């Protein structure tokens, strides 16, 4: 099989990622980042192949497809650009610190096994149609409906009495971030979180966004985690 050049590898990568972009739900930013990763990886592989071909006998050369390699890289990197997992349980240390500050009265997005407050809304309660009052803690599902949760948190805080504290993926390239989060207090986590019951650090940055009575609107803070 002819050895591809880095330029050919780049074109192959673009074609494959473009074709798979919808299925992988890769954002525009993620698409560009992945393309750069593919290009860098292919450059390295190209140099290694040249060296192997120069030194190895003809019968020992690899026939591995560059396209297959790029496709596997797409799948391995999917988690870097999407939230294939939607339920990320709050680390106890982070919650306890925030609870000491706010003294939450309800967890608006929880289950019997991961609730952070005795009073909570479960999936069965459908929190999006409930009235939120008091001091609310929200760590919502990180899927495509996250914008609905952030909108609910913001609108619930407009009564002037309710405070909603949210743990969110830091997605400053989304409409919902600029439409709602920028109207609250934002505390950027200084490092990636290790969510409870997860073996690895998160593949995305996080932020605490505060809406309502106790929010210092327009304040940007770095919080240690």
What would the mean pLDDT of 164-184 be, rounded to a whole number? 96
* pLDDT above 70: residue 199: yes
Select, from the ranges 11-15, 26-30, 177-181, 199-203, the one with the highest average predicted confidence (pLDDT).
177-181
Q: For residues 102 and 215, what is the distance between their CA atoms, to the nearest angstrom? A: 11
* pLDDT above 50: residue 126: yes
Given this model, what pLDDT does residue 7 score? Answer: 58
163 closest CA partner among 76, 92, 79, 102: 102
What would the mean pLDDT of 142-151 be, rounded to a whole number? 94
Q: Which two tokens stand for residue 22?
A: 């919808």
140 CB-side CA count, 13 A? 24
Q: Quickly state the pLDDT bin for 52 (edges 50, 70, 90).
A: low
Q: For residues 204 and 28, what is the distance between their CA atoms, to the nearest angstrom? A: 16
Q: For residues 156 and 185, what is the distance between their CA atoms, to the nearest angstrom? A: 15
- pLDDT tens readout for residues 11-46: 665 665 565 545 444 555 555 555 555 555 555 554
User: What domains can you pick out in the chain, each with its CATH number?
Assistant: 6-81 (no CATH), 92-223 (3.40.50)
Q: For residues 113 and 69, what is the distance between their CA atoms, to the nearest angstrom? A: 40
Model-level pTM? 0.64
Better-predicted residue by pLDDT, 28 or 155: 155
Q: For residues 129 and 124, what is the distance between their CA atoms, to the nearest angstrom? A: 11
């Amino acid at each position: 099989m002819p050895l591809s050049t880095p330029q050919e590898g780049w074109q192959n990568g673009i074609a494959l990622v473009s074709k798979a972009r919808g299925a992988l739900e890769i954002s525009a930013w993620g698409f560009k980042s992945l393309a750069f990763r593919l290009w860098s990886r292919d450059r390295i592989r190209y140099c290694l192949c040249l060296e192997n071909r120069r030194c190895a006998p003809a019968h020992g050369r690899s026939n591995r497809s560059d396209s297959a390699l790029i496709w596997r890289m797409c799948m391995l990197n999917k988690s870097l650009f999407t939230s294939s997992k939607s339920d990320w349980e709050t680390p106890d240390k982070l919650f306890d610190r925030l609870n000491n500050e706010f003294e939450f009265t309800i967890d608006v997005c929880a289950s019997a096994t991961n609730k952070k407050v005795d009073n909570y809304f479960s999936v069965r309660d459908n929190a999006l149609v409930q009235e939120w009052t008091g001091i609310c803690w929200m760590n919502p599902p990180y899927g495509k409906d996250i914008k609905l949760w952030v909108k609910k948190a913001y609108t619930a805080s407009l009564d002037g009495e309710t405070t909603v504290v949210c743990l969110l993926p830091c997605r400053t390239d989304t409409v919902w971030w600029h439409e709602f989060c920028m109207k609250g207090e934002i505390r950027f986590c200084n490092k990636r979180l290790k969510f409870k019951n997860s073996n690895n650090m998160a593949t995305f940055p996080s932020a605490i966004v505060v809406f309502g009575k106790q929010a210092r609107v327009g304040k940007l803070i770095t919080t240690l985690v």
